[in-house]
Structure formats: C-alpha cells, structure tokens
Amino acid sequence: MYLRNQLKKVQAHYKALKEFYTEIEKLEFDYTLSSYENLNVSQKALLEAYLKRFASLQDYLGAKVFKTLLDKAGISYVKMSEVLALIEKEGIINLDRWIEFRNLRNQLEHEYPDEIEDALKDLRHCVESFYELEDVVKKVFLFARQFDETIKLP
C-alpha cells in the first residue's frame, strides 16, 4: 500500500509536469533574456511551475520511491549512492544523467533569478529533458508492477 501511495504522488507530479511542458511548448520562447522579458507574468509563472515540478518529481523519486522499490525487491542498500547505483542496475535511470539533472536543478535554485541568462540555459535543459524524466517515471511504474500487477502506467 505504501508503494501505491507513493506512485499516486509520482503520478500527480508527472501529470502536472506534462501539462506544464505542453503549455511551454506552445510559447514562442527561445530561452534568451529578451524573450524572457517579453513573457507576461502568467507565462513566467508557468516556467517557474515547470521547474518546481521537475525538481519535486526528481526529489521524490530519489528520496522516497527508489528506496521503496528496492525494499520491495528485497535489495539491500545502506547509502544513497548505493540506492542510485542499484536503481541504475535495474535499468530505471542512467546514473550520470540523474546526477546531471540533480546538479542542474540545484544550480537553478541558487542562480535564479540572480544570473538569469545562465538560469535560462539551465531551464531550457530541464524542459528539453522532459522525455528523459518521463521515461524514468514509466520505468518506475513498470518495475513496481512486478509487485502489484494492478499498477497502471501513467
């Protein structure tokens, strides 16, 4: 039941992220400072919301869900570095990319909006990485189905 509740939260984050991504794709936005300055408040809020969901989804997967999946599979671990290595071994993530996402997200949190041009480049990378994160979410659900066949893909 615990895993099922976690997956509901993952699904909620993913659904919102996907909706934000769809709306961002409709914007005439090229991630430059001049383009950013031409956005209205709602459009800027959309970018902020996307970034927040991207970070929240990644945080939640890494901090909670990956450990629960390993626990369900009977795979032991001690440190977070082991969790990520084992999740990579199960084919759910690419560890280098996962660490890159995490570092990118941390950079955005500390730069934005102080160094806006750098933050916009990083934001672009997060938006362009949507399908990679989506793939991780789907792999999490597929892995979880080993323990509960009623789990449906998001």
Q: What is the pLDDT of residues 103-131, one digit of tens each?
A: 887 776 665 555 788 888 888 999 999 99
Q: Using CA of residue 113, residue 114, residue 117, residue 122, what is the dihedral sign?
A: negative
Structure tokens at 70: 């390993």
116-124: long-range pairs with CB below 8 Å, 24+: 116/33, 116/36, 117/32, 117/33, 120/31, 120/32, 120/33, 120/36, 121/31, 123/31, 123/47, 123/51, 124/31
> Any idea which fold 2-144 has?
Four Helix Bundle (Hemerythrin (Met), subunit A) (1.20.120)
pTM: 0.92
pLDDT of 78 strictly over 70 = yes
Question: Above 60 in pLDDT, residue 102?
Answer: yes
Statement: residue 82 has pLDDT above 70? yes
Which residue matches tokens 């890159």? 100
Rounded CA separation 93/89 (Å): 8
Domain boundaries, the chain: 2-144
**Mean per-residue pLDDT, 88-108:** 89
* CA atoms within 13 A of residue 22's CA, in its CB half-sphere: 6
Alpha carbons 65 and 41: distance in angstroms, whole number: 34
